[in-house]
């Protein structure tokens, strides 16, 4: 599974990219607004840091304005992925953009039928929002299971399932079990994947035992000589 981070905070993105575990970035108008910066500058900086797909969302909702905004965003960098809404105009734009070689992320997916339409429109990614479905009493992971199953039935579908609105590590693990291709995570959730109390306890024990030896690896010389 690929890990994207869902943020427009370039400081967070740089820190997470340094781990070598980050495959891409997703942004949206709300996240860019929180940054307080010019959108084009933010996306350009992110694309410089992360070589993988960087989703930049259009603000327009009708076909012609969507295409004009997409043209501006595509000029930023080759790894920009145009993010469009799952609407008739959004899917029309998806078809046109993907046919022209652009990566397209179709967002705000809440049904398997919508996901099938996005695949037919040539979407690079489909973004089902599991957390928001959970919020209204549905089981978000059931949607992921349905989309993955449908896509697997057709060899010609190349659209990747990008699990969005992820709230916890459990969402990530459940999505991975189902075979989703990508999870996009808020920075705090991505960082929480590293954490387990037994890992911390074990490391503390090892370090305490090592400290008792009084040794420092960088200062040691082997009695058998160095190679």
Residue numbers annotated as active site: 83
Beta strands in 150-208 (DSSP E): 160-163, 182-185
Q: Are 26 and 4 in contact (CB under 8 A)?
A: yes
Q: How far apart are the C-alpha atoms of 199 and 185, rounded to whole Å?
A: 22
Q: Are 137 and 101 in contact (CB under 8 A)?
A: no
Q: How far apart are the C-alpha atoms of 149 and 120, rounded to whole Å?
A: 15
**Contacts with 2 (C-beta within 8 Å, 6 or more apart), sequence order:** 23, 24, 52, 181, 182, 183
Q: What is the DSSP letter of 37?
A: S
Q: Are 127 and 108 in contact (CB under 8 A)?
A: yes
How much is the CA Rg of the chain, to the nearest whole Å? 21
Residues 195/141/113/181 CA torsion (nearest 10 deg): 40
Q: How far apart are the C-alpha atoms of 29 and 16, rounded to whole Å?
A: 21
Closest CA to 162 of 139, 185, 190, 186: 185
Report the residue count for the chain: 227
């Amino acid at each position: 599974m690929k890990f994207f981070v869902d943020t427009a905070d370039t400081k967070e993105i740089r820190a997470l990219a340094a781990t070598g575990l980050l495959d891409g970035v997703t942004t949206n108008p709300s996240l860019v607004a929180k940054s307080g910066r010019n959108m084009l500058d933010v996306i350009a900086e992110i694309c410089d840091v992360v070589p993988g797909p960087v989703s930049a969302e259009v603000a327009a909702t009708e076909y012609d304005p969507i295409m004009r905004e997409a043209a501006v965003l595509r000029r930023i960098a080759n790894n920009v992925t145009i993010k469009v809404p799952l609407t008739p105009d959004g899917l029309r734009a998806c078809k046109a953009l993907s046919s022209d070689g652009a990566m397209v992320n179709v967002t705000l997916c809440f049904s398997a039928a919508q996901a099938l339409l996005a695949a037919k429109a040539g979407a690079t990614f489909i973004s089902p929002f599991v957390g928001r479905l959970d919020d209204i009493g549905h089981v978000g992971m059931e949607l992921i299971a349905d989309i993955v199953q449908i896509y697997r039935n057709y060899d010609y579908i190349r659209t990747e399932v990008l699990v969005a609105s992820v709230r916890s590590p459990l969402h990530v693990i459940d999505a991975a079990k189902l075979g989703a291709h990508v999870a996009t995570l808020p920075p705090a959730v991505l960082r929480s994947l590293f954490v387990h109390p037994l890992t911390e306890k074990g490391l503390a024990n090892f370090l305490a035992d090592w400290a008792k030896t009084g040794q420092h690896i960088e200062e040691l010389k082997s009695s058998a000589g160095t190679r």
